[in-house]
Chains A and B, each alone.
Chain A
Amino acid sequence: MVKRVAILDANRCVGCQICMLICSERLGYAGLTKSAIWVVTPGGVERGFTVIVCRACKDPPCARVCPEEALKIRPGGGVLLDPRKCIGCGHCVAACDIGAIRLDPETGKPIVCVYCGYCTQFCPHHVIALEEVL
């Protein structure tokens, strides 16, 4: 079985963005835009937070629209990016209806979760956890 970052309860999220900061730090950076997990508000903090991260689809549209086979389907669910093949066309971004893929403004290539679960070690309010893909 393979794993993914599961949103256990977005209502527990306090919007601290530590998951985003930690995900950027995974690559050695201080910043927000290299993160594969996103915390946004659906209309101001009083409405609570939405946490967006790749849910590891069994049949991922992002991989199907990739013209260069840079996004490979991961057996069991989700995708794996081969940045050497990626031409930065952004089709994967448009194909993901939940908005879990973004282009890194600096490299022009997609940022997509690698299912490592590093962010889940630091979520102070148990919003996210590394779980097996069912």
Chain B
Amino acid sequence: MKENWVNTLSRVLYIDLARKDYWVEDREDLFGEWLGGIGVATKLYGEEVASNADPLGPENSIIFSVGPLTAIYPMASKTIAVFKSPLNNNFSESHAGGRSASAMRFAGYGAIIIRYASERPVYLIIEPDKVRFRDAGALWGVRSAETVGRILREVTSGAGLRSILRIGGAGERLVRYASVMVETFRHFGRMGLGAVFGSKKLKAIVIIAGKNFKIPDLKEYREVRRELYELTRGPGTKKYHDLGTAENVIPLNVLGALPTRNFSGGRFEGAEEISGEKLAETMLARRVACSACPVACIHLAAIREEYEEEKFLYKTEFISYDYEPIYALGTNLGINDRFGLLKMLKAVEDWGLDAISTGVVLSWATEAFECGLINKDETLVSLRWGDWRAYIEAIKNIVLQPNEFYKTLALGVEEAAKKYGGREFALSFNKVEPAGYLTGPLYFISLAVGSRHSHLDAGAYSLDQKIFSRGEVLPKPEEAARMIAEEEAWRQVLTSLALCLFARSIYTPEKVTKALNALGYGFTPEELKKLGWKIYLEKQRIKRSEGFRPSEIRLPERIFETPTPLGKISKEYFQQALSAFDEVMGKWA
């Protein structure tokens, strides 16, 4: 029976953008052994991308994958993208929801590989058994990723069955932290997938579902599904559906772990104003879900605005908000004006940028401007904490790159600080700007060794907080490295399935085993945990072959100066943990 379900998933669609060709291969070998999602994508990346490949050259491939639970169990809603990141030249991953996963699964593909580059702008329509290459000449140069989606909704079929992935101006102009927008308001945000699309002259991908797969044992499946469905509606996901991730703003501020003004502090005096509570009370307009998810964590705010030059002429726009963009573009830039913050978010969304990287690049620029490393000749606008109008101009400039300074800013904070100084306050870990938790050392260590650079890589902010709330002393550095790797290894299983990590407390090893076995797999929880390690080590092996050595990365001095709830982070401790990680992975991977 196992073979049956694997075979519904194991078709891999190969797309060659240079020759405008495509074919399907059955990769049962991979889906049988590595489940799907990140497991299979990691193996495919190993086959596809050479260790010396240029991330923005035709030799970089994009791999999308889904998993055996996709769209048939609640919160199995993610598509995994794996590619070489133009920020750090390493294997990297990004996960997005929307309708991408269900569309791909029911278009009949477990993975889609996009190879080489097109000579001229192109977009793809992927259907069951068919790929169409469309001229994107009319769409290239349309700067707003939202507008691109609006046009494609009109000119393609499959309403209700499709997913639309596309880039805005930032991806076209190769901003290294450009995102890929999915539907509206979901993204492959981090690690620069938008720039990789841009380098391939790939403006958009429309994926349309149309296939159905017979469920092998309906009775058993229904039982497990019902149980998981009830759990996803319980306390385990309450936080996500009520206020959404924005709920974190106040507790992190109270804890002193809310990164403020370029990580110079952990408390923001304006936190209340941009909190999940305040946003819900004053601006929340609608909640939206990814496919197969009952939680609906996507919170959309309505921004109602009168045109300055014409009284009584109004517009109302919608924008999604989450904790990370509130930190990156809000507290991190001293913004306490809700309206201004949402306008900044809207700009980031339209241009197709990653909110986290954009916020951190701008916070470095603001500090560099403040201490005179750069001046208005470079920045063109005065960058000051809290001045959201100036930041919206700067966001535009990052995309349009009118001068040398903004050209450099578009490469990320690492390159900007290398050229203009201020490296001690240029926040990046392995050249990627951090997600927003100032909880303690374990969190930052996890960013240094992660591949997704999301707080969810290993959830180490939570390890820090547990140590803090129990009043424990820090584990030994080697133990810290082990704890992070252990947690991340299990998450390889969840993201191979491919679940949303907001469901991690529900999908325990026992529940995952039940869910898989109801489809005819024959796993034990221990075997799954082992598989998690195997995937994790495979990833580490690939990263090491690309030259990644965690103990050699630059660490920004700022994080050793700003106190966290666990006190000031010791640089020695940090480096010992990274060396320990390095040593173990050198041996095992």
Contacts and interface: CB of A to CB of B under 8 A. Distances in A.
Interface of A: 14-18, 20-21, 24-25, 28-34, 38-41, 43-46, 48, 105-106, 122, 124-125
Contact of A18 (B209, B214, B287, B292): B292
Given A32-B160, A32-B209, 15 more contacts: A15-B289, A16-B289, A18-B294, A20-B160, A21-B291, A21-B292, A25-B222, A31-B211, A31-B213, A33-B161, A33-B210, A33-B212, A39-B160, A124-B296, A125-B294
Classify the secondary structure of A's interface with B: loop
A49 B149 CA distance: 16
Interface string B211-251: 11111001000100000010001000000000000000000
B287 A34 contact: no
A46 to B, nearest CB: 4
A33 B209 contact: yes
B286 A46 contact: yes
B99 interface: yes
B183 interface: yes
A46 B147 CA distance: 13
Contact of A21 (B71, B184, B288): B71
Contacts of B146: 44
Given A21-B71, A28-B214, A28-B218, A45 B292 contact: no
Query: 8 closest A-B pairs (Cβ-Cβ)?
Result: A31-B212, A124-B294, A46-B318, A16-B289, A14-B296, A29-B212, A14-B289, A40-B160
14 contacts: A16-B289, A16-B290, A16-B294, A18-B292, A21-B71, A24-B212, A31-B209, A32-B102, A32-B106, A33-B209, A38-B160, A45-B300, A106-B212, A124-B233
A104 to B, nearest CB: 9
Interface in B158-184: 159-161, 183-184
B271 to A, nearest CB: 27
Nearest to A48: B286
A105 B294 contact: no
A36 B502 CA distance: 30
A27 to B, nearest CB: 8
Contact of A44 (B8, B105, B149, B215): B149
Contacts of A48: 286
B202 interface: no
Contacts, number: 100
B192 to A, nearest CB: 25
A17 B291 contact: yes
Contacts of B293: 16
Contact of A45 (B161, B184, B229): B184
Contacts of B298: 14
Interface of B: 8, 71-72, 74, 99, 102, 105-106, 146, 149-150, 153, 159-161, 183-185, 209-215, 218, 222, 229, 233, 286-296, 298, 300, 318
A124 B289 CA distance: 11
B210 A17 contact: no
Contacts of B72: 21, 25, 30
Contacts of A25: 72, 215, 218, 222
Contacts of A28: 214-215, 218
B229 A14 contact: no
B395 to A, nearest CB: 21
A46 B349 CA distance: 13
Contacts of A14: 287-289, 296, 298
Most chain A CB neighbours (cut-off 10 Å) among B183, B210, B212: B212
B510 to A, nearest CB: 23
Contacts of B290: 16
A125 B295 CA distance: 9
A45 B288 contact: yes
A122 to B, nearest CB: 7
A32 B300 CA distance: 26
A29 B233 contact: no
A119 B379 CA distance: 55
Nearest to B221: A25
Contacts of B210: 33, 105
Contacts of B296: 14, 16, 124-125
A20 B159 CA distance: 13
A31 B294 CA distance: 17
B135 to A, nearest CB: 24
From B74, B105, B149, B291, name the one whose CB has the most chain A CB atoms within 10 angstroms: B291
Nearest to A46: B318
A44 B212 contact: no
Q: Which of A14, A44, A122 has the most CB of B within 10 A?
A: A14
Contacts of B102: 17, 21, 32
Given A17-B102, A21-B72, A45-B183, A34 B150 contact: no
A67 to B, nearest CB: 27
Contacts of B287: 14
Given A29-B214, A30-B212, A32-B209, A17 B300 contact: no
Nearest to A52: B160
Nearest to B99: A17
Nearest to B300: A46
Contacts of A20: 160
A75 to B, nearest CB: 31
Contacts of A125: 294, 296
A127 to B, nearest CB: 11
Contacts of B213: 29-31
Contacts of A29: 212-215
B184 A34 contact: no
Contacts of B160: 17, 20, 32, 38-40
Nearest to A20: B160
B184 A122 contact: no
Contacts of B294: 16, 18, 124-125
A30 B163 CA distance: 18
